[in-house]
Amino acid sequence: MENLPDGVCFSDTQGSLFYGNKSFATLFCFKNTDEIKNASLLPFIHENDRSSLEEFLGRMMHPEFGKTVVQVRMAGCDSHQQWIELRAVNTITEEGAFLVVRDITSYKAMQEDLLFQALTDELTSLYNRRGFKIMAEQELRHCQRLDTDVIMLSIDIDAFKVINDTFGHGEG
């Protein structure tokens, strides 16, 4: 386990750590693996994601859980936010379970970029039809929750392409 590229640790349901390999130590900014013993996962995790981690840690002790996975944010060694995925494996004892931990920051950035591309026009970066529909639905739900009125105006101009092609997208 020491030479695996993914971080591996042994944790109880409270997030207390009893073991971590070199990759885990590097990911969580420990100087060496000895510092991991008796440390806790929770202080590393973004405060808005701690409840997700706590729920995950509680589920991992039940044999029926299969592959339990959670994705949470943490502060990296350089204090920049990064995303990690924790996956409990079926090696459970009364004391806790082994977790495989992977840095998925680049994967999350790629997901966000793909979502942006799917919802916006490449040339103008304005919402496309799909993006507009999603944002309009969100705004309508928001107004319904607040019990407020909303007016939405959508204008479809025929042959607008001619204006853009003639005067440029900035003018259009």
Confidence check: pLDDT of 24 > 70: yes
Helix (H, G, I), strand (E, B) or coil at 87: strand
Confidence check: pLDDT of 128 > 60: yes
Rounded Cα gap, residues 84 and 79, in angstroms: 14
List, for residues 25-41, the tens digit of each pLDDT value.
999 999 999 999 989 99
- What's the pLDDT band for 68 if we cut at 50, 70, 90? confident
Q: What is the pLDDT of residue 94?
A: 77
Tell which CATH classification among 3.30.450.20, 3.90.1150.10, 3.20.20.70, 3.40.50.150 matches the domain 7-105. 3.30.450.20
Q: What percent of the chain has pLDDT over 90?
A: 56
List, for residues 142-152, the tens digit of each pLDDT value.
999 999 988 87
- Residue 1 tokens read as 């386990």
Q: What is the pLDDT of residue 4?
A: 83
Name, of 86-100, 106-120, 123-137, 156-170, the range with top average pLDDT. Answer: 106-120
Rounded Cα gap, residues 33 and 30, in angstroms: 7
Domain coordinates in residue numbering, the chain: 7-105, 120-167
Least confident of 47-56, 59-68, 80-89: 59-68
